Chain A
Amino acid sequence: MGAYVRRRLLQAALTVLGVMLLTFVLFRVIAGDVSAQYLGPRATEQDRQRWLAQHGLTKPLFVDTHHAPWSKAFWDSQFVNHLVDSVTFGGRSFRTHERLRDIIAKRGRYSLAISVPALAAGWVAALVIALVVAYYRDTWLDRTGVFLSVLGMCVPFLAYMILGQWLVLKILPSAAWGLGHTTNIYVPVTIAVIASLGHNVRFYRTIILDEVRRDYVRTARAKGAPLSNILFGHVLKNCMLPILTNLVTAVPFLILGSLLLETFFGIPGLGEQMISSITSRDVPIIAGLTFLTAVIYVLGYLVTDILYAVFDPRVRLQ
């Protein structure tokens, strides 16, 4: 068990390092010179150089070979600074010079306010529906359920958003945009839940039915136990693991809180920050937020794998 955990930790660390390298290459190297966005059309070459120097973009990419390897200046390169900034979330926005930490502290709550309820409500709703549908499997209820789920999966997310907002506008116009009241947040939350229902119900139903088709269930039924007892007593418990791991892998999206919902409904969360940073080429923030989600993702997978190892001995022995 220990060896397994150690191995996974090492892999996770390597991945995190890899993400730092990726964000560096993608956003600093490929995205190129973004000074134009911030300098205005009449900037001279001198202004550009000064701006670049001010933001640390004229430093050598990886190591400064003009100095000795043991001096601090050797390591004062763009890549090293990027590493440090990533880990401490200290990158400064080109636009407002705020640190990423502060932005996260200010805006994280709004993203969480959408994603956390959406995750929980979506999970409960999908599970309940999947259980009902699985209980009545092969009846018309089941078939309708599956049919609706498949349909639900195929409707584009944007359509849910637009339709949802239109409905709200008809019923309760003041809730349609922005955060006039705290309850307004439940509009995008509901839309997120409904949009995810199709896919989740189908997924959970498959897992539950897989479990239900196992021998022990057949035995229990043959012995006369009612299906509902079996469902709640055994099947659900055994299904929990894949369901929970599915849930855990959705955690990274908690923080970015569905970019689309935030931009659409005018919620000032991190997702909206991401979009506006991309539009204004605010590279440190883009890189920092990407890194944040990646780290959470990796952690999520790590937790999942360890959970699996704890509950399923077969995994440990791999």
Chain B
Amino acid sequence: MKGLIIKDIMCLRKQLRVFGFVVAGVLAVGIMYVLSARFGNIASANARAIADNQMEAFEINNIATLALALFMLVPLASVGDLLNVFIADRQAGFEKVAGILPLSVRKRLTARFITIFTLFGIGAVIDVIIAFILSVLTDIISFADFVGIIISASSLMCIYSALVILYCILLGKGRETVAMILSLLCMVLIYVILRFNKLKDILIAIIALDDTGDSGMSTDYFWDFITFIKQKSYILLITALIIMAVSYCISYVIADKKRGVI
């Protein structure tokens, strides 16, 4: 099983080489951003916005949080694009080799899931290091909130990857792009179903457009979302673990029925 994980990581070797540059870039841009938000142009622009009553302090804080959250997402997204493994396997015809290895379907599937955990684990650890450095330099966001964002981002990436694996196995080889689109659609759909009432209210308010617009509902909703990913990341983590477990079980049943095609 370890051999397959090594092989998967070898497939991502080129991607991992780029990862070093991505981390360095994110760290550099992150430091520039937090320093500017504290002492530079961003700080003075924020001060002006507050003085002119264009924005409130918490909104500025939320915008900064969002920018830093996006920075945190970049290393995770660049390290864990598992589609490349599926594509590389298909191009090489590796499924034939995999089929003759002395590994059960369960072990082969477990190897793929461990690869995701390992990669996101690496991404998350590096993110935590970046977050620690940035949190020392800024008072906009605490280290604990940073960790919350990292857990949320890792959880979302794990959900996405679990769905990609499931769809790749279900749809068969050569359908990796469809699997990716379906996974993203699934995630959006689950979110819409879970937050249907709130989203419906916002939509009605936007459609009913009057002078007051949607009365700030969408902005409030967005700020609530930012607070959620900072402070309630454990909910996303639990969801990710459940989805990964479900994806693993369904993928196993499908792969077993397809005589071990993973």
Question: Is B one of A's binding partners?
Answer: no
